[in-house]
Structure 1
Amino acid sequence: MTAETDMVFRFVNSTDADADTRTFRVYQVIGTAAPEELELYKFSHSMTGSSGGTTTYQRKNMNSLTFETVGQISWSSNTIASVVYFGLEEISVKDLRKVKNATSHSRRFKSGVGAGYKWKISENRTDLYCIDSQDKYIASWSNHEKILRVTPRASAMLDRLVVTCFLNVWFKRLGRW
């Protein structure tokens, strides 16, 4: 792990007391001495009249500096996500959190054609890290800091890492790892 060169993203929950915890923002932390933060993602959860609702996520277009919707998460209840949309690509949450066996401490997902990855629980039992199919580190989540670190080589799949990190943290918090 080369933490100095990793891209750093800080997750910040809404300050609105009535906001759902699925409403949050993700800031890219740039620099170390006097770090700046660039708002990069907005996650907004709305109730749709059903028991679950939809979480829409937007990413800042760095050319126009406007936020564009890049996907959504459909919830079948207040605690169970069923489908994630990455643009037009629809993926079952089960396929983004595959379990190899009942005692597994990892959740597998794919990005692109056949590229396999997995989120694993760290030794401290609160943090997560993500590795590729060659067991090479690509991302880590600090639960205490609410920080996601991503290697530059994984930047092309940033949307997928941000969303799968969020989902795994969500389900782990509910005791459904």
Structure 2
Amino acid sequence: MAAETDMVFRFVNSTSTNTDSDARAFRVYQVVGTAAHEELELYRFSHSMTGSAGGTTTYQRKNMNSLIFETVGHISWSSNIMASAVYFGLEEVSVKDLRKVKNATSHSRRFKSGVGAGYKWKISDNRTDLYCIDSQDKYIASWSNHERILRVTPRASAMLDRLVVTCFLNVWFKRLGRW
């Protein structure tokens, strides 16, 4: 399903030695080399309890010009397990709109990026991994649960923030049995 030219991103818990760490705090590294497994830290997700029931997960992306991490959005949580809204910069999107269900037995979750562009995350045949397709059923991304790797086609690079966030949310809810 994935091509050799796909961009490869590895998700790593921020505090892998602490078993009590919140799974909403993690880092995303882009694998840039094959010989020595060169990686570039690209995203930082941090979770804080802000006085609300579930807190806020803030995500930052490295600015490749300044090499400084800049906040590009956040996820608002209505409880410790349920996210309510995602902010992509100033754009607020309901989690329901990022995980739309066509029918009760659906094995896909739909979302939009840009004006009218529709995508969906689907459960792979192995029942643990996910993949994302566009409205023409063309592959744009895949998630390996065992490796914690997200692969993204170069043509989907303009929506990388949205793919990283929706992948995380779908993995989060699937892990909780709320697919």
Question: Could you say which TM-score interval applies, normalised by the shorter chain?
Answer: over 0.9
Report what 2:5 is aligned to: 5
Question: Within 2, Cα distance between the matches of 1:49 and 1:92?
Answer: 21
Structure 2 residue aligned with 1:67: 69
What is the aligned length?
177
Between the aligned partners of 2:174 and 2:118, the Cα distance in structure 1 is: 21
1:112 positional shift: 0.2
User: Partners in 2 of 1:31 and 1:153 — Cα distance?
Assistant: 20
Equivalent AA in structure 1 for residue 60 of structure 2: Q
Deviation at 1:19, TM superposition (A): 2.7
Asked if 1:99 is matched to 2:101, the reply is yes
Deviation at 1:32, TM superposition (A): 1.7
Q: Which residue of 1 aligns with 2:39?
A: 37
The one-letter code sitting in structure 1 at the alignment partner of 2:86 is V
**Pick from 72, 79, 83: which aligns with 1:81?**
83
Say which is worse superposed, 116-125 or 11-20, in terms of deviation: 11-20
2:158 counterpart of 1:163 = no
Q: Partner residue of 2:57?
A: 55
Shift of residue 45, structure 1, vs aligned partner: 0.3
* Partner-residue secondary structure (3-state), 1:83: strand
User: Structure 1: 5+ residue runs without aligned partners?
Assistant: none
Aligned match of 1:135: 137
1:133-153 alpha-carbon deviations (Å, 9 max, x no partner): 000000000000000000000
1:20 Cα deviation (Å)? Answer: 1.2
Shift of the alpha carbon at 1:2?
Answer: 4.2
- The 1:99–1:116 alpha-carbon spacing in structure 2 relative to 1, beyond 3 Å, is same
Alpha-carbon shift at residue 14 of structure 1 (Å) = 1.9
CA distance in 1, matches of 2:80, 2:105: 26
Amino acid at match of 1:141: W
For 1:51 and 1:19, the matched residues in 2 are separated by: 18
Aligned-partner Cα distance in 1 for 2:156–2:52: 36
Gaps in structure 2 of 5+ consecutive residues: none
Instruction: Give the TM-score of the pair, scaled to structure 1.
Output: 0.98
Contact 2:24–2:47 (CA under 8 A) maintained in structure 1: yes
Give 3-state SS (helix, strand or coil) of 1:161's partner: helix
Q: Percent identity?
A: 90
For the residue of structure 2 that corresponds to 1:44, the secondary structure is strand
CA distance in 1, matches of 2:145, 2:22: 19
Q: What is the deviation of 1:48?
A: 0.9
Q: Which runs of 4+ in 1 moved over 2 A?
A: none
